[in-house]
Amino acid sequence: MGRETNSDTIVRADGVTKTFTDEAGEYSVLRGVSFSIAEGETVALIGVSGAGKTTLLQILGGLDKASSGSIEVGGRDLNRLPATALSHFRSQFIGFVFQFHHLLPDFTAIENICIPGMIRGRAKKQCVPRAEELLNVMGLDRQANHYPAELSGGERQRVALARALFNDPALVLADEPTGNLDGENSRQLLALFKKANKELKQTFLVATHNERLAEGMDRMLYMEDGRVARRS
Ligand SMILES: Nc1ncnc2c1ncn2[C@@H]1O[C@H](COP(=O)(O)OP(=O)(O)O)[C@@H](O)[C@H]1O
Ligand SMILES: [Mg+2]
């Protein structure tokens, strides 16, 4: 799993389009998106609301399909992966962090972090050491047995990040991860992204409106008119 890419390019999108069709007709959200991300980079994805950031992240993470164009993630051509291989790819290769933490309310912090391991068929007992290590990285040792309702918003989002990192994904896709956090908690989350990037070697692509978060990444990709341009 993980890091066996052919080159040090981890994401390569070439001419990616996405068109939605509804009652009102066809709507092209992505109109030829091309960019690449090197392994180990932290990249911000910025652009106004509705620019297509979420759509692009979902396609990169194998949750949605492009209408045309090619996408390689970790050397795999996502258009050519059959559904079973795609779900395998997602669980091994991608970590998702969303605006809403999506923690399971009836599970403790440590149990929530273990879930990606349990989905892959490991017993809870086998998952605990890894979950404890991640709790420690996140500065949440004391909250291991707290339920989501007993955590602050910032702590919940750090548990969600730990859960995303559980399977040691090569690529972390985060969609407005600080959208519900105050300034201090946003700063903490940024620091943890950088720490995971440095110590655990994860590559990050982070869609965000938070300027400080965007500026904390190595570089920015700017979405406009269904395309992506490089910034800074
Ligand atoms: N499943 C869908 N069906 C139709 N339109 C969609 C769908 N998903 C997203 N869109 C439209 O695509 C555009 C881009 O959405 P999105 O990717 O969520 O943008 P962003 O994350 O940058 O705010 C929006 O106009 C949105 O309404
Ligand atoms: Mg969005």
Best substitution site from 48, 55, 175 to test ligand 1's pocket, by max atoms within 8 Å of Cβ? 55
Give the pLDDT of residue 232. 60
pTM of the model: 0.93
Q: How far apart are CA 214 and CA 232, in angstroms?
A: 11
Number of domains in the chain: 1
Ion ligand 2: residues, CB < 5 A: 53-54
φ/ψ of residue 206, rounded to 5: -125, 110
76 within a domain of the structure (yes/no):
no
Is the CB of residue 107 less than 8 Å from the CB of residue 147?
A: yes
Q: 161-193: b or e for each residue (b if 16 or more CB lie within 10 Å)?
A: bbbbbbbbbbbbbbbbbbeebeeebbbbbbebb
22 within a domain of the structure (yes/no):
no
Tell me how far the alpha carbon of residue 89 lies from the centroid of ligand 2, in angstroms.
23
Tell me how far the alpha carbon of residue 19 lies from the centroid of ligand 2, in angstroms.
16
Angle between helices 153-165 and 109-119 (to 10 degrees): 20
Strands annotated E in 68-214: 68-73, 76-77, 94-97, 171-175, 203-207
Give the pLDDT of residue 6. 46
> In CATH, what number is assigned to the domain containing residue 143?
3.40.50.300
4 within a domain of the structure (yes/no):
no
Domain span at 138: 43-54+82-231
162 within a domain of the structure (yes/no):
yes
196 within a domain of the structure (yes/no):
yes
Residue type for position 90: R
Strand partners, 27: 20
- Binding site membership of 167 for ligand 1 (Cβ less than 6 Å): no
- Output the residue whose Cα is nearest ligand 1's atom 7: 20
Best substitution site from 29, 33, 224 to test ligand 1's pocket, by max atoms within 8 Å of Cβ? 29
* 232 residues of the chain, pLDDT tens digit each: 444 444 599 999 999 999 999 998 999 999 999 999 999 999 999 999 999 999 999 999 999 999 999 999 999 999 889 989 998 898 889 999 998 889 999 999 999 999 998 888 888 888 999 999 999 999 999 999 999 999 999 999 999 999 999 999 999 999 999 999 999 999 999 999 999 999 888 999 999 999 999 999 999 999 998 999 977 6
The strands making up 68-73's β-sheet, listed across from edge to edge, are: 25-38, 9-22, 68-73, 76-77
φ/ψ of residue 32, rounded to 5: 110, 65
5 within a domain of the structure (yes/no):
no
What's the token pair of residue 122? 């490991």
Give the pLDDT of residue 101. 82
18 within a domain of the structure (yes/no):
no
Tell me how far the alpha carbon of residue 76 lies from the centroid of ligand 1, in angstroms.
25
28 within a domain of the structure (yes/no):
no
- Binding site membership of 53 for ligand 1 (Cβ less than 6 Å): yes
**Ligand 1 atom at minimal distance to the Cα of residue 176:** 21
